[in-house]
Amino acid sequence: MVLLFSHDLTQEQIKEANERFNIEKFIKLPEKLQQKWSNVPSEGEFTEIYFDDFKEFIEDNLRKGDFVLIQGDFGATVYMVNWAFKKGFIPVYATTVRKYENYKGEDGSIKNIHYFKHVNFRLYKVE
């Protein structure tokens, strides 16, 4: 499974991927590509050429029918999911349950804490 994803997998995610999809190997992006995926430009128009390096990396590391975890910038995710389907890969994403706590300090400051817990992987669907 190639990880087109901005975070490290949790042990729960690794376990589910092993048991549910028989994933034996997780392939992280090289640091340069990881930085690029985590910082998709928000300015200007969407340019497909920006994603050529990701496509090449995935094609170099997967075969048809292999899984790719795709999450990130919304437009980039939609684009890469559609591309993955066309190439015969199986795109998935992770769902989480989120808990939020808010604390007000005596000095008027506010502290926000966000907790995320993996629930499961879902297959992307297209019509």
CA nearest neighbour of 40 among 2, 75, 78, 85: 75
Res 43: pLDDT: 92
Nearest of 87, 88, 93, 53 to residue 69 by alpha carbon? 93
The strand pairing partners of 69, in sequence order, are 3, 92
The mean pLDDT of 15-37, rounded to a whole number, is 97
Task: Tell me the mean pLDDT in the region 33-44.
Answer: 94
The predicted pLDDT at position 126 comes to 84
| The pLDDT of residue 116 is above 90 | no
Q: What is the pLDDT of residues 59-91, one digit of tens each?
A: 999 999 999 999 999 999 999 999 999 999 999
What's the rounded mean pLDDT across residues 23-27?
A: 96
Closest CA to 1 of 63, 51, 48, 46: 63
Please report the pLDDT score of residue 114 as a whole number. 85
Please state the pTM of the whole predicted model.
0.86
